């Protein structure tokens, strides 16, 4: 098969697809309007009245007052959620609900849960969605014996990166909706990925005309931002395109901002966890993103980093304002609308900008290619894998230590380019006191697109630089990637950091949940840009099975072991003796320090649940083979 044909398959421009969402009317979930279309002028950042207290850059030495205040309300919601969770998750004969009640007067003694969803394109979105569905008490049957429903409601933080950030965007911009509602087969459903993002939405008319209108909308939005005086990049197009697939709002939710999450009543009341989107910084004059690169986070209030390179946060709502030295000069306007929700999740996934450059290799008509190429010719940046944050909010800020202080624009890239494809960085910050992280890894580290622990290794090695970029963060020791494969640590959940006496400071217990074939070959290529409903649903179901170990069929004690992981650090703080079942769980799931670094054979796992092999079809296998070829061709 010719390279151009393979690329066409990857980009989803051949027949056999279904519609992309983004054109149905704005909808509500549970009777509550979802996130707010509060951008003043669509995609164009626009001057607005400044608040009485002009926005400034905040030091990262502490959590923001907004987060600190929000945490109090969230704690009031996680406690009853945990009690409900432990109503169906038993920890032997231990009375967990009584324990939680006993310590309810001191929230610092209670468990603090975080969830991390890795990057990996649509594979990561779908596999991560399966885990979230398993953790969500609203999912059908998720709160019965052997299941893990309620873990999501018990969590304080949930972080996403690249494909994981698309999942967060879909959930939170759509009013913290459920995976069930996102994957419904009803007309107008949000997740309809049959049409490639390159091809654009199918509105029920002639597809060629639909695509032309789609590109026209993308071009006009980005052009408006450029004409307003803001530098643009391919990520502006990519983010706008993503919004059509992830947000169920007219025109791809062009007026929805990430900061609007903080203004919604449900979030303010602490009714769901805090979403954190992760991206990387590209150092000035460097093309490669290394382990010493800055890791940024977008939370509902701020954009910034705990890293010593900047060590500061800017109010997200006023990103795009021309700060200098941490202040907004009196002669400068407050700018709003820069933090488009699509641009935020697009920033976390700039690696996929490469596919926008492949438009001329597809079978789309020449007039559509012309529209798209006209967009490219108007962009200011030749680098194709960055998101341009112009003006740089950290201009002249922390001049003594920041390599970005003299940069008028900030280059931000895909959050996985530093190999930390799991967004663990925000969750290991000492100020957040996270006890346990459920790390759902959908990375494609091996030849056949399965994870091998690379993300954990990268975060661990970065934390060892305690006087530099590590900046006091502590992460549990993990083995090398060969050991992950040789010992099967990438085939089932594994706990890291069980013995705190081996840690150099406070650090969370990490429950590593790697993507594996329980009921379906979920290892589709990172760069597969379209998937039909059946494959989508199968991958989500497989992700559910991975998170629950087949609803505890592979280990009848698995849900109890998850409960032990949640309680472990809390038990230690309160001097509570571990129940016997927790000792057995930790013997079974904690990495014990064994290493086998010999080079493993190609990792080609078979199904982990009985009779699942019968569900593997030839088209599925061919899809994986083709996707492998596409990936190689795209980057050679």
pLDDT per residue as tens digits for the range 462-505: 999 877 888 889 999 999 999 999 999 999 999 999 999 988 88
Lowest mean pLDDT among 16-25, 381-390, 557-566, 589-598: 16-25
C-beta of residue 439 within 8 angstroms of C-beta of residue 425: no
Preceding omega of 391 cis (within 30 degrees of 0): yes
Question: SS3 for 497-534, per residue?
Answer: CCCHHHCCCCCCEEEEEECCCCCCCCCCCCCCCCCCHH
Give the range with max mean pLDDT: 33-37, 129-133, 292-296: 129-133
Any idea which fold 3-564+592-635 has? Cytosolic phospholipase A2 catalytic domain (3.40.1090)
Query: If pLDDT is split at 50, 70 and 90, which confidence band does 290 have?
Result: confident
Q: At residue 5, does pLDDT exceed 90?
A: no
By the 8 A CB rule, do 162 and 351 touch?
yes
| Percent of the chain topping pLDDT 90 | 72
Do the Cβ atoms of 630 and 10 come closer than 8 Å? yes
Name the range with the highest mean pLDDT among 24-38, 363-377, 620-634.
363-377
The closest of 419, 365, 342, 544 to 118, measured between CA atoms, is 419
The answer for residues whose C-beta is within 8 angstroms of residue 419's C-beta and 6 or more apart is 291, 454, 455, 457, 458
What's the mean pLDDT when you consider all of the chain?
87
> What is the token pair recorded at 561?
């072991």
pTM: 0.90
Position 579 pLDDT exceeds 50: yes
- Arithmetic mean of pLDDT, 533-545: 97
Euclidean distance between CA atoms 621 and 623, whole angstroms: 5
pLDDT band at residue 380 using 50, 70 and 90 as cut-offs: low
Mean per-residue pLDDT, 265-291? 89
pLDDT tier for residue 240 given thresholds of 50, 70 and 90: very high
pLDDT of residue 628: 38
- Whether 22 has a pLDDT exceeding 60, the answer reads no
134-138, 314-318, 399-403, 425-429: the lowest-pLDDT one: 399-403
Q: Are 350 and 235 a contacting pair, CB within 8 Å?
A: yes
- Bridge partners (DSSP) of residue 274 are 157
Q: Could you give the angle at which helices 558-574 and 580-589 cross, rounded to 10 degrees? A: 110
Q: What is the DSSP string of 240-287?
A: HHHHHHH--SGGGTTT-BSGGGGGSHHHHTT-SPEEEEEEEEPPTT-S
What average pLDDT score do residues 138-154 get? Answer: 97
Q: CA-CA distance, 321 to 334, in Å (whole number)?
A: 5
Query: How far apart, in whole angstroms, are the C-alpha atoms of residue 459 and residue 473?
Result: 10
Cα–Cα distance between 144 and 178 in angstroms, integer? 18
Angle between helices 163-173 and 234-246 (to 10 degrees): 50
Whether 406 and 251 have beta carbons less than 8 Å apart is answered as no
Neighbours of 36 (CB within 10 A): 16
Sequence-distant (≥ 6) Cβ neighbours of residue 221 within 8 angstroms: 42, 43, 44, 236, 240, 254
- Domain limits of the chain? 3-564+592-635
């Amino acid at each position: 098969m010719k390279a151009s044909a393979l690329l066409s398959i990857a980009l989803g421009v051949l027949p056999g697809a279904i519609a992309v969402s983004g054109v149905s009317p704005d909808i509500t979930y549970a009777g509550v309007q979802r996130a707010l279309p509060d951008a003043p002028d669509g995609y164009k950042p626009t001057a607005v009245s400044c608040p009485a207290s002009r926005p400034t850059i905040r030091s990262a030495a502490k959590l923001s007052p907004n987060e600190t205040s929000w945490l109090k309300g969230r704690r009031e919601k996680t406690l009853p959620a945990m009690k409900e969770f432990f109503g169906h998750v038993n920890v032997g004969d231990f009375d967990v609900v009584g324990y939680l009640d006993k310590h309810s007067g001191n929230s610092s003694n209670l468990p603090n849960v975080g969830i991390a969803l890795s990057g990996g394109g649509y594979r990561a979105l779908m596999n991560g969605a399966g885990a979230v569905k398993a953790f969500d008490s609203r999912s059908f049957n998720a709160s019965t014996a052997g299941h893990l429903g309620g873990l999501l409601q018990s969590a304080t933080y949930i972080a996403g990166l690249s494909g994981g950030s698309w999942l967060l965007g879909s959930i939170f911009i759509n009013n913290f909706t459920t995976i069930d509602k996102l994957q419904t087969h009803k007309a107008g459903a949000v997740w309809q990925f049959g049409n490639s993002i390159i091809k654009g939405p199918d509105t029920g008319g002639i597809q060629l005309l639909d695509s032309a209108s789609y590109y026209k909308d993308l071009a006009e939005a980005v052009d408006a931002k450029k004409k307003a005086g803001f530098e643009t990049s391919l990520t502006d197009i990519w983010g706008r395109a993503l919004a059509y697939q992830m947000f169920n709002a007219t025109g791809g939710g062009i007026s929805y901002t990430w900061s609007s999450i903080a203004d919604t009543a449900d979030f303010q009341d602490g009714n769901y966890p805090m979403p954190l989107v992760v991206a990387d910084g590209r150092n000035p004059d460097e093309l490669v993103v290394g382990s010493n690169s800055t890791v940024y986070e977008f939370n509902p209030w701020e954009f910034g980093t705990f890293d010593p390179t900047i060590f500061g946060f800017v109010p997200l709502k006023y990103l795009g304002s021309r700060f200098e030295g941490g202040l907004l000069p009196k002669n400068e306007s407050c700018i709003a609308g820069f933090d488009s929700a699509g641009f935020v999740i697009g920033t976390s996934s700039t690696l996929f900008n490469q596919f926008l450059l492949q438009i001329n290799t597809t079978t789309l008509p020449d007039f559509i290619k012309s529209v798209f190429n006209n967009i490219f010719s108007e962009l200011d940046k030749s680098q194709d894998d960055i998101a341009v944050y112009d003006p740089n909010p950290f201009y002249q800020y922390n001049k003594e230590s920041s390599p970005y202080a003299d940069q008028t624009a900030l280059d931000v890239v895909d959050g996985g380019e530093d190999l930390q494809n799991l967004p663990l960085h925000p969750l290991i910050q000492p100020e957040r006191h996270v006890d346990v992280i459920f790390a759902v890894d959908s990375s494609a580290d091996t030849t056949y697109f399965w994870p091998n622990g690379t993300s954990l290794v990268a975060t661990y090695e970065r934390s060892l630089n305690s006087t530099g970029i590590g900046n006091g963060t502590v992460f549990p020791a993990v083995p090398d990637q060969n050991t992950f494969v040789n010992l099967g640590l990438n085939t089932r959940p594994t706990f890291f950091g069980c013995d705190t006496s081996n840690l150099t400071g406070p650090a969370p217990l990490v429950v590593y949940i790697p993507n594996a074939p329980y009921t379906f070959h979920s290892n589709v290529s990172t760069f597969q840009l379209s998937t039909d409903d059946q494959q989508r649903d199968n991958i989500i179901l497989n992700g559910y099975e991975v998170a629950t170990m087949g609803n505890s069929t592979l280990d009848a004690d698995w849900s109890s072991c998850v409960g032990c992981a949640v309680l472990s650090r809390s038990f230690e703080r309160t001097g509570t003796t571990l129940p016997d079942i927790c000792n057995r769980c930790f013997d079974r799931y904690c990495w014990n320090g064994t290493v086998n670094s010999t080079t493993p054979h190609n990792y080609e796992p078979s199904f982990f649940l009985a009779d699942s092999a019968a569900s593997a079809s030839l088209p599925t296998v061919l899809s994986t083979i083709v996707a492998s070829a596409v990936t190689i061709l795209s980057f050679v």
